[in-house]
Amino acid sequence: MRDRILTWLEHHVTPPRLQHILRVEQFCSELAEHHQLDVEKAKQAGLMHDLAKYFKPQRLLQMAQTEGLELDEILAGEPHLLHADVSAIVARDEFGVKDEEILEAIRNHTLGNPQMSPLSCVVYVADTLEPGRGTSAELVGLRQMCFENLVAAVWRTGDYCIRHLVEHQRMIHPRTILTRNWAMQQSKEQHGTPSASASDRISA
């Protein structure tokens, strides 16, 4: 099925976006193997996470409404945020994906979701932190943290994304904040604070 998905993507996303998708797929594979998750599921979710990235706003809204998704003011005003949910619809309807864990990982890759599965956490961090995103000390530290402490990486990636949105005067969806808070609480309860090496790199 991978070849069929790649062929579809070649007709629906730009070449740079396709390269991003392939890097996300690879990063998902590496993280899943390290954390002893299902590697094939992770690769499939990574490959399909941006299927609807270039759908026009009206199409995103229409598909979301047909699916019965709840649209708040932010989603209605910035339909591009729906591309994650709509990508899961395309994965299901176009490619016959029935595995709910894969579909949830696709849905959650942009805004996250409190209580999301380890597979969703993998795709969430991989989308933001894949190697093509940059080589700053902060990103290098976050990538290291993904292997050391996945939930802490979700928390700190949430911080990174929120700061980026604030700096660019963009709307912040409540789910982004809820996801960050959930991951922070889980990380502190389960693992304590992130390791010194990763934290030092992130704050550098």
Output the average pLDDT for the chain.
94
Please tell me the distance from the alpha carbon of residue 93 to that of residue 75, in angstroms, as a whole number: 22
Per-residue confidence (pLDDT) for residue 194, from 0 to 100: 57
Please say if the pLDDT value at position 203 is more than 60: no
pLDDT tens, position by position, 4-55: 999 999 999 999 999 999 999 999 999 999 999 999 999 999 999 999 999 9
Per-residue confidence (pLDDT) for residue 190, from 0 to 100: 81
| Over residues 114-129, mean pLDDT | 98
H/E element holding 56?
none
For Cα atoms 202, 116, 10, give the angle at the middle one, nearest 5 degrees. 80
Sign of the CA dihedral with 60 first, then 78, 80, and 185 last: negative
Question: 24 and 127 in contact (C-beta within 8 Å)?
Answer: yes
| Over residues 77-84, mean pLDDT | 98
Domain count, the chain: 1
| Over residues 103-124, mean pLDDT | 98
Domain residues for 139? Answer: 2-203
Please say if the pLDDT value at position 204 is more than 60: no
Q: Quick one: what percent of the chain has pLDDT higher than 90?
A: 92
Please tell me the distance from the alpha carbon of residue 81 to that of residue 77, in angstroms, as a whole number: 9
The alpha-carbon radius of gyration of the chain (Å, integer) is 16
pLDDT-based confidence at residue 191 (cuts at 50, 70, 90): low
Question: 87 and 51 in contact (C-beta within 8 Å)?
Answer: yes
CA 129 to each of CA 31, 64, 122: distance values in angstroms, whole numbers, following the listed order: 12, 27, 10
Per-residue confidence (pLDDT) for residue 198, from 0 to 100: 46
Please say if the pLDDT value at position 118 is more than 60: yes
CATH number at residue 31: 1.10.3210.10
| Over residues 93-108, mean pLDDT | 98
Question: 20 and 114 in contact (C-beta within 8 Å)?
Answer: no
Per-residue confidence (pLDDT) for residue 195, from 0 to 100: 47
Q: Which token pair is 92?
A: 């299901």
Q: Which token pair is 65?
A: 């409404």
CA 49 to each of CA 28, 89, 141: distance values in angstroms, whole numbers, following the listed order: 11, 11, 24
Please tell me the distance from the alpha carbon of residue 145 to that of residue 68, in angstroms, as a whole number: 36
For Cα atoms 198, 162, 117, give the angle at the middle one, nearest 5 degrees. 70
What does DSSP assign to residue 194?
Answer: P
3-class SS string, 99-119:
CHHHHHHHHCCCCCCCCCCHH
